[in-house]
Structure 1
Amino acid sequence: MPFEFKIIDKKRIDDIIPLVEKLNEKSVSYAVLKDRFSEMINQNYECAVIYDNEKLIGICGLWFCTRHYSGKSVEPDHVFIEDQYRGQGLGKQFFKWIYNYVKEKGCESIELNTYATNYASHKFYYNEGFKIYGYHFLKKL
């Protein structure tokens, strides 16, 4: 059976937390992630997922907004695919599905952030046609 790409039902959002923990090396507790995702799912947020049969193996949060410089856009966030599924073209297939999905929703552009030390993601996004236009800054309050 081929991989299944879809938007996870809001009621199942907690299913993605173990993969987000792996991505962030458990730097944020499960309880905090649970609270944050329960709030996020009621904002302009959806989460695309990959299933291998019934097993959740990949995630990509999608933030929708309209920006003055790029129109209706989407920001992929916390993209993660389980280690044993990497290097097989699955990320490319997943993003192809995401591109089609967000185009159907009227998006004109995609922009994203990636960790400065995540070199594999840099190569992937370059190969997908993304360009670097700036820096991401964060200040904790």
Structure 2
Amino acid sequence: MAYQFKIIPNDALDQIIPLVYELNDAKVSLELLQSRFNEMQHQNYECATIFNGKELIGVTGLWFCTRHYIGKSVELDHVYIKPEHRGNGLGKQFMEWIYNYVKGKGCNSVELNTYVQNYPSHKFYYNEGFEILGYHFLKKL
């Protein structure tokens, strides 16, 4: 298959909302996702996508920042590939494309969070050379 990896313009983020909705198992409403992406498009955010022809089949957010301990960095957010396109090396290809893209923007590192119970993602990220450096804590206010 001829997959295409590309950054979509921030004013076109509406098209990724159905995939992010799937990723979150509908825990966040479509309306709230829309509102949040409307805010995100004005922040230090970009969106990398995978297309199979005209069909959007994969997505990840890219948050750019400079961190005191590593320098210029990108944090991957809401990494998702439709289940029927997994297991054929597409995730590895996508990550390689992302590494090249963010290196071109001067990034020294890639960071991400993954849910504790998402064991398949842990194996994938270990195989990609990621290391666990700490715990992600969250407190809702």
Task: Pick the TM interval, shorter chain.
Answer: over 0.9
Given the alignment of the two structures, is residue 45 of structure 1 paired with residue 45 of structure 2, yes or no?
yes
How much has 1:108 moved relative to structure 2? 0.4
How much has 1:11 moved relative to structure 2? 2.0
**What letter corresponds to residue 14 of structure 1 in structure 2?**
D
For structure 2, list consecutive stretches of 5 or more residues without a partner in the other structure.
Answer: none
- CA distance in structure 2 between the aligned counterparts of 1:11 and 1:55, rounded to whole angstroms: 18
**What letter corresponds to residue 54 of structure 2 in structure 1?**
E
How much has 1:41 moved relative to structure 2? 1.1
Query: Partner residue of 1:58?
Result: 58
Given the alignment of the two structures, is residue 100 of structure 1 paired with residue 108 of structure 2, yes or no?
no
- CA distance in structure 1 between the aligned counterparts of 2:133 and 2:140, rounded to whole angstroms: 23
- CA distance in structure 2 between the aligned counterparts of 1:26 and 1:108, rounded to whole angstroms: 34
Q: How many residues align?
A: 141
Superposition misfits of 4+ residues, deviation over 2 angstroms: none
**What letter corresponds to residue 87 of structure 1 in structure 2?**
G
SS across alignment from 1:111? strand
- CA distance in structure 2 between the aligned counterparts of 1:97 and 1:18, rounded to whole angstroms: 23
- CA distance in structure 2 between the aligned counterparts of 1:14 and 1:27, rounded to whole angstroms: 18
> Structure 1 vs Structure 2: percent identity of aligned residues?
66
Superposed CA RMSD = 0.7
Do 2:60 and 2:78's aligned partners in 1 also have CA atoms closer than 8 Å?
A: yes
TM-score calculated relative to the size of structure 2? 0.98
How much has 1:52 moved relative to structure 2? 0.2
**What letter corresponds to residue 47 of structure 2 in structure 1?**
C
TM-score calculated relative to the size of structure 1? 0.98
Query: Partner residue of 1:77?
Result: 77
**What letter corresponds to residue 51 of structure 2 in structure 1?**
Y
CA offsets 1:60-90 (integer angstroms, 9 cap, x no match): 1000000000100000000000011000000
